[in-house]
Amino acid sequence: MEGFTIMILFFFFLMNYMVVASTATDTIDSLQSISDGETIVSSDEIFALGFFSPGTSKNRYVGIWFNKDPSKTVVWVANREKPLTDSSGILKLNNTGTLVLLDRNNSVIWSSNTARSVMNPIGKLLNSGNLVVQETSNNGASKEDFVWQSFDYPSDTLLPGQKLGTNLKTGQNWYLTSWNSSDDPFPGRYTLEFDVNGYPQLVLKDGGSKRWRAGSWNGVQFSGTPQVKENSGFRYKYVSNEEEIYFMYELINNSNPHKVVLTPEGINQRSQWNPDTSSWTNLARLPADDCDYYETCGAYSSCNVNNYPMCSCLDGFVQDNYKEEQGLSDGCVRRTSLDCNGDGFLKYSGLKLPDTERSWYSRNISIEDCKMLCLKNCSCMAYAALDISEGASGCLMWFGNLNDIKVLTPYSLEDIYIRMAATELEAIQKNKSHKSNIRKKRTIIIVCVLSFSVLIICLAFIVFRWKIRRKGVMNDYEEDLQLSLFDMSTISSATNNFSADNILGKGGFGSVYKGVLKDGKEIAVKRLLQNSSQGIQEFKNEVMHIAKLQHRNLVKLLGCCIYAEERLLVYEFMPNKSLDYFIFDEKKSMLLDWTRRFDIINGIARGLLYLHQDSRHRIVHRDLKAANVLLDSEMNPKISDFGLARSFGGNETKANTRHVVGTYGYLSPEYIIDGVYSIKSDVFSFGVLLLEIVSGSRNRGFIHQDHHFNLLGHAWKLFMEDKGYEIIYAPIRDASNLSSMLRSIHVGLLCVQKSPDERPNMSYVVQMLSSESTLPPPKMPGFFTEREMVDEGSSPSNNRTYSINDVTDSILEAR
């Protein structure tokens, strides 16, 4: 009887244990293990832990992912440096509190290396996505402190509540490391970390080199990212004291999950989960533009992506070794040397504060005392407030050159005071007063003219509105072209009310904005200038020529919007921007090897062939250039911008115009001289573009130390001397692809021949690029120019431009 009672008690104990085990799906203890195919899930079911294989890889890893995401986005990897090669892995928690990953031979692949032994340990996946090891009491209650946690060992993802920074006492660092690739979580080349040299700042590094700075914390946000602000969904937390320096962000009111990921390409990307579409919506990408990259411009130079060139010296500084052909600067130097005792400070606003690696700071000094302290130290080059959350307080001082400065949009709330010689300050103030007087006079004249003309302008506006409504433009487009029409409210919401942060680029007829529709679909919105006859004509051209075109190498027009005086075109979004963004940039050009460039060349050729031959009307683009070739997520080229396009019907093959439009360096001789354009005009532009892709150099402004030919002349000269390989962009020269490269150059030279009759049509171009047939020798290209350089001591008026074709660049009136 006693034995039977013991068996009954044991049975109930076992059943109770099984119930507890089956309900505690977020926990593992020392008596349990997780095999490949099994998972534990956080109590809110947002996160899961188990085994996975990334992308196309067959290796197995232990990781944590978003449980409700169909693609199971991974946020943490345990054994990222040592994968399992099969599904025999087992994750265990030993009785001292250490997590271990074992292979089929019971060899330890990965271990949590818990610092201290504990009694009754459990592993638990928290709702935050943090995997922790805790000690429990004899009654099973968990103690509050963690013996070990995955948040202390981040992978490539920062989750809400997770620290990014360093513990100054223990030396513990919390930083993100990118994956090697989407198929390989091995630590890649990029890290996002706090640089604690000088005043701490958040830095994205490529190896040991700085790639981007978020800037230093100013009490509200990081100084270099005013566009990344707190909102109703999350808030920031920054801690800096004697023990630790770290940053984190926290969700508010159970907002949808967020994540910050450092991608294998070195992009810091913030996203939010959208439960309606079961997908992630991208909220911010950093670096966001060319000026975000570290030290795009040199010392004492500010970078502005809306200007050309992007780099310009700060007031009181002049260019040092300016490279006009690159549009960049090696930095700036003071116009007037410092005197130390007689110096003062000039206030600058709206700038990203310089690199703080060589800086000093104090939280207990007022801004006025900071000024005096900097003024007394001849090595102090600038000062600013440390904290702007409640006025201006604290002191931040820079020593040495001021580097990595950018003009910020939205406007920064911070000011920086840069040291200047007294005479320089007087000169700057006098210049500002002079400019102010000129502006006042101009304002008076403009007000008078506007007041006199306001009645006429209003009348013209009313007549224009009446004509637009009478034509019933919206119905015409919808019925004749079967084109989707978007509401203005939809477009405004998608582009954040046409925020400057969403601008992708600007052109002669308006701006292009990035937008995100409610379903998460990304779009590009071209907003034409209001009250512009050119803008209206371009709108009609774009709609009429591209609405019914369907080809994988042409950008797709999704629809349009006509609201009052607004004319909006909605396109598919191209995440990799335009071709010139890559081929003319020293760093980004390395991402395009020959195989990728050749694919792009072929794609452009097929797109032009469709326009010239396979579309309903023969269409001449008239503005084919690197900036008008967009690249999708897979780097496939798509021809865009049909605002200048013209179509031919019936037996038409060419036409004349008195208004030559297009872009310097791409226009054919017959178009420039006689205003004659045809499909052969596009062939010439394609040839120029092909040679630019192969060489990595622009045709216009091309400079060579051995001669004064442009790119076309340089390429033809070398090709005729059997030195065609010298044209090829040096980093992509490859003996295995040399024949393909030389053949492409040959085809490009055939396309830019002076006479349009001697140029091949695009069907023949596509055939020549894809075959190995013998090609005819190219004749001299159009605009084969040689320039006479200015002799030392001669005046600019003596400069002349020679052209074998008797045509000079000076006659071009293109855009």
Q: CB 676: neighbour CB atoms within 10 A?
A: 17
Selecting among 289, 292, 315, 623, the annotated active-site residue is 623
Q: Which residue numbers belong to the known binding site?
A: 526
Give the tokens for residue 544: 């009429």
Chain centroid, CA 385 distance in Å: 30
Q: Do domains 154-288 and 472-573 have the same CATH topology?
A: no
Do residues 773 and 695 touch, judged by C-beta distance below 8 A? no
Give the helix ranges, DSSP H, for 129-196.
none
Q: What are phi and psi of 156, to 5 degrees?
A: -105, 5
Do residues 203 and 214 touch, judged by C-beta distance below 8 A? yes
Mean pLDDT along residues 142-147: 74
Q: CB 17: neighbour CB atoms within 10 A?
A: 11
Is 284 a residue whose pLDDT tops 60? yes
Look at residue 802 in the predicted model and tell me its pLDDT: 28
Q: For the residues of 279-290, what is the DSSP string, one character each?
A: EEEEEEEES-SG
Do residues 370 and 397 touch, judged by C-beta distance below 8 A? yes
CATH number of 576-811: 1.10.510.10
CATH number of 25-151: 2.90.10.10
Angle among Cα 589, 591, 596 to the nearest 5 degrees reads 100
Q: For the residues of 477-523, what is the DSSP string, one character each?
A: HHHHH---B--HHHHHHHTTTT-GGGEEEEETTEEEEEEE-TTS-EE
Is 253 a residue whose pLDDT tops 80? no
Q: What is the mean pLDDT of the chain?
A: 84
Is 325 a residue whose pLDDT tops 90? no
- The span from the CA of 123 to the CA of 225, in Å, is 38
Query: Tokens 């371009």 — which residue?
Result: 538
Is 804 a residue whose pLDDT tops 50? no
Domain positions in the chain are 25-151, 154-288, 291-420, 472-573, 576-811
Q: What are phi and psi of 767, to 5 degrees?
A: -65, -45
In whole angstroms, how far apart are CA 581 and each of 312, 517, 568, 658?
20, 26, 24, 32
Q: What is the pLDDT of residues 55-86, one digit of tens each?
A: 999 999 999 999 989 889 999 999 999 999 99
Angle among Cα 276, 279, 285 to the nearest 5 degrees reads 125
By three-state DSSP, how is residue 775 classified?
Answer: coil
For residue 527, give the nearest of 554, 556, 488 by alpha carbon.
488
Look at residue 13 in the predicted model and tell me its pLDDT: 46
- The span from the CA of 507 to the CA of 60, in Å, is 49
Angle among Cα 7, 10, 16 to the nearest 5 degrees reads 145
* 593 belongs to the catalytic site: no
Is 791 a residue whose pLDDT tops 50? no
Give the N- to C-terminal CA distance of the chain in Å, as an integer. 102
Look at residue 763 in the predicted model and tell me its pLDDT: 93
R_g of the chain, CA atoms, integer Å = 32
Give the tokens for residue 71: 């693609």
Give the tokens for residue 631: 């690249």
* 614 DSSP assignment: I
> Which secondary-structure segment (H or E) carries 110?
strand 108-111
Is 437 a residue whose pLDDT tops 70? no
Mean pLDDT along residues 540-545: 73
Question: What residues are paired with 279 via a beta bridge?
Answer: 274
Angle among Cα 65, 141, 138 to the nearest 5 degrees reads 125
Q: What is the pLDDT of residues 721-773, one digit of tens each?
A: 999 999 999 999 887 889 999 999 999 999 999 999 999 999 999 999 998 88
- The span from the CA of 746 to the CA of 62, in Å, is 53
For residue 291, give the nearest of 269, 315, 308 by alpha carbon.
308
Is 21 a residue whose pLDDT tops 90? no
Look at residue 642 in the predicted model and tell me its pLDDT: 84
Is 306 a residue whose pLDDT tops 90? no
Helical packing angle, 711-720 and 738-751, nearest 10°:
120
Q: What is the pLDDT of residues 524-536, one digit of tens each?
A: 999 987 755 455 6
Look at residue 118 in the predicted model and tell me its pLDDT: 83
State the amino acid at position 654 in one-letter form.
K
Look at residue 23 in the predicted model and tell me its pLDDT: 39
Is 461 a residue whose pLDDT tops 80? no
- The span from the CA of 49 to the CA of 545, in Å, is 52
Q: What are phi and psi of 259, to 5 degrees?
A: -155, 150
Domain 472-573 has CATH 3.30.200.20: yes
- The span from the CA of 679 to the CA of 689, in Å, is 15
Is 20 a residue whose pLDDT tops 70? no
Q: CB 530: neighbour CB atoms within 10 A?
A: 12
CATH number of 154-288: 2.90.10.10
Per-residue pLDDT band at 649 (split at 50, 70, 90): low
